[in-house]
């Protein structure tokens, strides 16, 4: 009887600890790409050309990395609380670097401005995609 109570107490304690850990992880604030260390700094045109010339090699080099991209704004689109900034990549094809800005307090750039954006590269689909991005500077 005594051993059974000890085992039940240990199981209850483990469940309680697991519950506290789950609650802590659920309440923990999400880290953004802006808070992480920049791995690669690159111009938008060079990034787009890298993917255009050899998508597989560029994917190995840039995908899932934190990039700081400099470029000229060619378009800004709002979508709810977030907005998307397209940086000029190639004038001939109209492609570029599409940056999804998640920082709702960020100033929206206008077409023609030069910006520096930091975010996570998620690959290439018509444009190079940067997600979880934040604007570092607008010139």
Q: Say how far apart CA 17 and CA 10 lie, in whole Å.
A: 11
pLDDT in tens, 77-90: 887 778 888 898 87
**CATH no. of 33-138:** 2.40.50.140
Q: Say how far apart CA 35 and CA 134 lie, in whole Å.
A: 10
Average pLDDT score, the chain:
87
The pTM of the full predicted model, rounded to 2 decimals, is 0.76
Domain chopping of the chain, boundaries: 1-30, 33-138
> In degrees rounded to 5, what are phi and psi of residue 15?
-65, -40
Q: What is the pLDDT of residue 91?
A: 72
């Amino acid at each position: 009887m005594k051993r059974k109570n000890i085992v039940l107490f240990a199981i209850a304690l483990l469940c309680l600890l697991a519950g506290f850990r789950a609650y802590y992880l659920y309440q923990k604030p999400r880290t953004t790409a802006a808070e992480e260390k920049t791995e690669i700094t690159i111009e938008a045109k060079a990034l787009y050309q890298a993917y255009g010339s050899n998508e597989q090699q560029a994917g190995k080099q840039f995908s899932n990395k934190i990039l700081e991209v400099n470029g000229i704004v060619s378009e800004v689109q709002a979508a709810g609380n977030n907005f998307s900034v397209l940086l000029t990549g190639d004038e001939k094809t109209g492609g570029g670097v599409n940056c999804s800005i998640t920082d709702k307090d960020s100033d929206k750039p206008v077409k023609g401005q030069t910006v520096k954006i930091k975010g996570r590269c998620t690959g290439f689909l018509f444009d190079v995609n940067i997600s979880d991005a934040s604007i570092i500077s607008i010139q």
